[in-house]
A and B are shown apart, each in its own frame.
Chain A
Amino acid sequence: MSEQLYYEDIVVGSEITLLVKQPTTRQLVMWAGASGDYYPIHYDKDFAQSKGLPGVIVHGQLIGCFLGQLITDWMGEQGSLRKLTCSYKRVNFPGEALICKGKVNKKYVEDSQHYLECNLWVENAKGEKTISGKALVTLPARG
């Protein structure tokens, strides 16, 4: 957990403190229970292979939640995540390290709210971008 961020401290182009996740098959089962997503492609290897995949794949939505955590860890408790967009480009496999990264793209003030727009992405160990996204965040100002 990081210190509270303030709007004035943010430099456009700066990087978000990265978050590394390595979901196991067990975590996929926990996610299935928590989310109600019981599509067998995420826990049944035979089923996944019948769909032309080498094995079970990580739920895209679970990785979307990792990107949510990337933001909430970084922005601190006074910040708010207003909008999160994720686009799933490639499948991810359990046991793979998933490196969640982000960069501040823009900052602006509107209706007395202090906004940041961030680009987010997930890289696998091969350095391939498997998910890309955006976040809109509001931060407190020192003002």
Chain B
Amino acid sequence: MVNVSSGIDRLRSNIGVEWEPVVYKIEKGMIQRFVQAIDDPNPLWQNEEHASKSRYGGIVAPPTFILTIGFEEIQQQILASIPSGTILHGDTTLECYQPIKPGDVITATTKITNIRQRQGEKGKTAFISFEITYMNQKQELVANCRQMVVSY
């Protein structure tokens, strides 16, 4: 029997505490893999010639690309806290402030913002909310993403 509560309590003790920032250098290949995965043929994401004539002056990443940055780390932390539990995504709110281009260096800083627990049919359900803030190499705020996952 897995003790879901003790792992959740460990996460709870870190609410509001920023994790060690994770730094990603954005490469054209990362953007390409992303747009292939979502199957989005927009030339602004991949075609240099087309994108050079756009207002961005070159390839940019789709606004949702940032969702792939930093998610792996927090998912692993949550799964490590509930090793035999189940997690499902509840919701996502993404705010975009600056476009992301190949060559950008993005620093992602994550913190858990809230944990609610409720007794449900399948046992205790936890609603874990977290926030990731993204800055670029010019110290500009690029995006902010708040998400909630449900674990039981």
Contact = CB atoms under 8 A, between A and B. Distances in A.
The answer to whether A and B interact is yes
Contact of B62 (A27, A41, A72, A82): A72
A38 B76 CA distance: 9
Contacts of A88: 88-91
Contact of A84 (B40, B68, B94): B94
B80 to A, nearest CB: 12
Interface string B27-53: 000100110111110111000000000
B116 to A, nearest CB: 16
Interface string B75-102: 1000100000011111111111000000
Q: How large is the interface on A (under 10, 10 to 19, 20 to 34, 35 or more residues)?
A: 35 or more
A28 B77 CA distance: 22
Contacts of A91: 88
Contacts of A80: 63, 96
Contacts of A78: 55
B130 to A, nearest CB: 14
A76 to B, nearest CB: 10
B14 interface: no
Contacts of B40: 65, 69, 72
Contacts of A11: none
A34 B96 contact: no
A31 B38 contact: yes
Contacts of B79: 39
Interface of B: 30, 33-34, 36-40, 42-44, 54-55, 62-64, 67-68, 71-72, 75, 79, 86-96
Interface of A: 1, 21, 27, 30-31, 33-39, 41, 51, 59-62, 64-66, 68-69, 72-73, 77-78, 80-88, 91
